Amino acid sequence: MKKSLFIILAVISVGILSTALAQQSQVNSSSVYSYLGLGTPYDNLSPIGSGMSMIGVAIPDPFRASAANPALWGGTNYTVGSGSFSISNFAVSDDFDSGTNTNFDFGHFQIVAPVIRNRLGISLAMYPETNSRFQITTTSNMNLPTADSTSSVGYTNNNVGVGGLNRLEAGFGLRLTDNIMIGYAPSLMFGVETIETRLFFEDARYRTVNYSERTRYRGFAHRFGLAASAANILRSNDRVVFGATASLPVDLSSHKRFTSRIQAGNNIRDIDLVPEDSFGKQTINYPFETTVGLSYFPRTFFMIGAEVHYQQWSELNTFEGTDDPFTKDRLRVAFGLEYDAGSRFSEGFFRSFAYRFGTSYDNGHLTLNNQNIETIMFTAGIGIPSRAFGSSIDINFDYGIRGTTSNSLVRERIFAVRASFNLTEPMFIQRRLN
């Protein structure tokens, strides 16, 4: 009986989603598309790469901690740490309405330390893998029983969701030769997603219906990295860096429960509609992913980079072992450049900054109404060095468009500001000469 109730609630949720995408009366979400699957993928793993719309698997930097490629930790000379946060504004519209929402999110935290300088480095990091945060409000009608017949009753449905997956990751990078490094990073992938549903009826004879769906995830992940470099390729003193990573599929144990909040007299309490022990454990197959990148340094102060990122979302299953009908394989390509004025040792405040620009195209991991949910992103960033040697603040600005209003879908205009704070070991060393 309880499992049947779960299936009924799941079917209601899918119906609500279809209605929300096709007949929204109000949109107010960080991303309406994060409702589906396990949320929206998170790609900002490198302070420099994030300013170039890239993940950064082929961008080495001795003064910034980066989770983009475990192999690059093999070139660690100093203990470095970084943390980040972002402020995002989503302007969302469809054929019926429009809305905006602003979110504040913490990004990653990471420490990288050398065991053997420039030979063996280790890392400890925690960062988001996916993000799910949305609010969808719809209005419609349903036939409900009365004393002697049925009548059409108008209702408003409100869905609010928050959650996502995170990685707690430790690993190492090893320099095999002067030009080749490898890395390995096992991690605990975990997360909680909660969806609150409220149905408000226009007819006072019907009470408000509310229930909450909560899902916990946990699994062990494995990520591998490779980095190789070569010099004097096209001209003297130039350099090319190649980077690649691969994350194996992850078996996530999933525990779901449904609860409802009721009022009995003057007391309000939560009751289990389907408790975790009745529902049992599911295994979610989180997909394989890989990233390949290439960076070219014609000069020490100038870099051009390109990157391809692939995730096999078509293998994701999220309900009773059935493939999710909304997911598809994702391919993201990015191109960016950096001009590091500070490395030229020029005088002047603005001449000490690093300037970055990049753009990316993402064909999306979702297909709805025979339409890929694509994203085009433009990014600009600056790196501001501090007076403490090696430390810096990186500020990045994003503007992107996701989705479309055609085929009864939703278009999102994304404005974001992301900041990364980078600390290095030399800043704590007292200088003997001024």
Q: What integer is the mean pLDDT of 200-227?
A: 90
Assess contact for 159 and 135: CB atoms under 8 A. Answer: yes
Q: How many CB atoms lie within 10 A of CB 379?
A: 25
CA distances from 240 to 50, 139, 376 (A): 20, 56, 27
**Residue 181: partners with Cβ closer than 8 Å, 6 or more residues away:** 71, 72, 74, 75, 173, 174, 175, 225, 226, 227, 228
- Range of lowest pLDDT (242-251, 270-279, 302-311): 270-279
Domains assigned to the chain: 2-428 (2.40.160)
Query: What tokens appear for 329 in the block?
Result: 């394989």
Question: Which residue has tokens 């449905």?
Answer: 157
pLDDT at 188 over 70: yes
Assess contact for 271 and 260: CB atoms under 8 A. Answer: yes
> Which DSSP state fits 311?
E
Give pLDDT tens digits for 275-293: 877 777 888 899 999 999 9
Residue 9 — φ and ψ, nearest 5°? Answer: -65, -40
Averaging pLDDT over each range in 113-117, 195-199, 322-326, which range is the top one? 113-117
Give pLDDT tens digits for 348-363: 667 789 999 999 999 9
pLDDT recorded at residue 419: 94
Assess contact for 337 and 305: CB atoms under 8 A. Answer: yes
Of the candidates 376, 296, 395, which has an alpha carbon nearest to the alpha carbon of residue 334?
376
Question: Which residue has tokens 């990233």?
Answer: 291
pLDDT recorded at residue 221: 97
pLDDT recorded at residue 428: 54
d(CA 211, CA 203): 20
d(CA 293, CA 245): 9
pLDDT at 431 over 60: no
pLDDT recorded at residue 18: 35
pTM above 0.95, yes or no: no
Assess contact for 249 and 288: CB atoms under 8 A. Answer: yes
Q: Is 33 helix (H, G, I), strand (E, B) or coil?
A: helix
Mean pLDDT across the chain: 85
pLDDT at 141 over 90: no
Give pLDDT tens digits for 145-161: 776 677 788 888 888 88
pLDDT at 26 over 60: no
- Range of lowest pLDDT (115-119, 127-131, 202-206, 219-223): 202-206
Query: What tokens appear for 275 in the block?
Result: 């408790």
pLDDT at 321 over 80: no
Q: Is 71 helix (H, G, I), strand (E, B) or coil?
A: helix
d(CA 110, CA 80): 8
- Range of lowest pLDDT (71-75, 315-319, 357-361): 315-319
CA distances from 333 to 284, 293, 363 (A): 27, 10, 9
Q: Is 427 helix (H, G, I), strand (E, B) or coil?
A: helix
